[in-house]
């Protein structure tokens, strides 16, 4: 309904003036966004165990107050092998509400389980007597007192080393109240005489349930683990007949609490 003169004036003005005003603004915004995405999709080293990379799974969703990104996580072991991750995504309705003036990164328990599986080789540890100060000495005499079935076959007062290795990937469980990390390990007991080679005594399967506390520091997610309720242990036949491992469970739980968990943390 505009007069032809006004229409001609507005069309000419818009075509000549607006591109010069808007294009630099749009360029500035796109450059800023591109810089953010370059950082977002760069490889993040997980120590020497592997690396992590994010990729956009879907186009960004822009809201009035925030931008929502649906990310795919790509985990590689140090050999370059990609770690399989569950493809199921939590529904948006199940996620915590967005807080004002805060950037939120929501990670699933499945993702944290996969990340710890990449790091699980670094959980292996040899525990010796000087690492369990304040506990009964880690020597054959202590083992013989706890397990009478093997006391006659052990050399007296010889140092013992416990070789703890992860048998399978840790499992992360997250609830509204608490979060837990389950570790599935083997604890092999070695006697180390000063005049001969170490000799394996027996192996225990160990299942540890650890409470996990999360914190963010220096742009890194930190996990602090604490032994929750002791540990399960099952004896494996080696040089001795099957024995009752129950007396050893309490000492082993103390050793895991004093030496193993601090090493993981």
Report residue 138 as tokens: 């880690």
114-126 confidence digits (pLDDT tens) = 999 988 888 999 9
Q: Is 220 a residue whose pLDDT tops 60?
A: yes
Residue extents of the structural domains in the chain: 22-101, 115-264
Please state the rounded mean pLDDT for residues 214-236.
Answer: 77
pLDDT at position 232 is 62
Please state the rounded mean pLDDT for residues 188-205.
Answer: 83
Residue range 115-264, CATH number: 3.15.20.10
Q: For the CA atoms of 264, 253, 160, 130, what is the dihedral angle to 10 degrees?
A: 60
pLDDT at position 195 is 76
The C-alpha angle 206, 208, 214, rounded to 5 degrees, equals 150
- Banded model confidence at residue 237, pLDDT cuts 50, 70, 90: very low
């Amino acid at each position: 309904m505009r007069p032809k003169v006004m229409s001609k004036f507005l069309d000419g003005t818009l075509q000549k003036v607006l591109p010069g005003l808007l294009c630099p603004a749009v360029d500035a915004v796109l450059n800023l966004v591109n810089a953010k995405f370059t950082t977002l999709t760069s490889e993040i080293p997980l120590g020497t165990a592997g690396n992590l990379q994010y990729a956009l799974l879907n186009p960004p969703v822009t809201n009035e107050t925030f931008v929502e990104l649906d990310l795919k996580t790509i985990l590689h072991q140090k050999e370059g092998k990609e770690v399989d991750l569950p493809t199921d995504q939590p529904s948006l309705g199940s996620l915590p509400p967005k807080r004002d003036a805060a950037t939120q990164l929501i990670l699933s328990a499945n993702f944290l389980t996969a990340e710890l599986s990449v790091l699980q080789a670094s959980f292996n540890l040899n525990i010796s007597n000087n690492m369990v100060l304040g506990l009964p000495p880690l020597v054959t005499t202590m083992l013989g007192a706890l397990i009478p079935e093997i006391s006659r076959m052990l050399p007296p007062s010889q140092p013992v080393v416990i070789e703890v290795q992860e048998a399978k990937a840790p499992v992360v469980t997250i609830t509204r109240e608490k979060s837990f990390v389950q570790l599935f390990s083997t604890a092999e007991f070695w006697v180390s005489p000063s005049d001969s080679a170490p000799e394996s005594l027996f192996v225990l399967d160990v299942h540890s349930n650890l409470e996990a506390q999360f914190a963010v520091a220096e742009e890194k997610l930190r996990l602090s683990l604490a032994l929750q309720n002791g540990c399960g242990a099952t004896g494996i036949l080696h040089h001795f007949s099957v024995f009752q491992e129950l007396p050893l469970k309490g000492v082993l739980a103390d050793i895991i609490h004093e030496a193993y968990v601090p090493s993981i943390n």
